[in-house]
């Protein structure tokens, strides 16, 4: 693809915005840990937060790759 570097940076910022949105969504939709412990649903609570943080990690890695692409640091190995 032939894109300008500012477009890659804009997409990287959008990906980081999605990461922040997923944390905000998890914070608003999941009950606090104490409530999950009291209801006996701590296992699913931990798994759900694990999935949220894995999505954040994937977003950060993707944003890093996009920034490296915009700076010309990511090269295709032939």
Better pLDDT: 70 or 64: 64
3-state secondary structure the chain: CCCCHHHHHHHHHHHHHHHHHHHHHHHHHCCCHHHHHHHCCHHHHHHHHHHHHHHHHHHHHHHHHHHHHHHCCCCCCC
Report pLDDT for 60. Answer: 97
Residues 49-73, mean pLDDT to the nearest whole number: 93
d(C-alpha 18, C-alpha 24), whole Å: 10
Summarised one tens digit per residue, pLDDT across range 1-45 is: 556 788 889 999 999 999 999 999 999 999 999 999 999 999 999
Domain map (residue ranges) of the chain? 10-71
Whether the pLDDT of residue 76 is over 70: the answer is no
pTM across the whole model: 0.82
């Amino acid at each position: 693809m032939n894109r300008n570097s500012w477009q890659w940076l804009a997409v990287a910022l959008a990906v980081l915005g999605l990461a922040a949105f997923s944390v905000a969504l998890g914070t608003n939709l999941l009950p606090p840990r104490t409530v999950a412990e009291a209801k006996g649903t701590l296992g699913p609570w931990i798994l759900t937060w694990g999935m949220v943080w894995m999505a954040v990690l994937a977003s950060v890695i993707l944003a890093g790759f996009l920034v490296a692409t915009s700076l010309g640091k990511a090269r295709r190995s032939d």
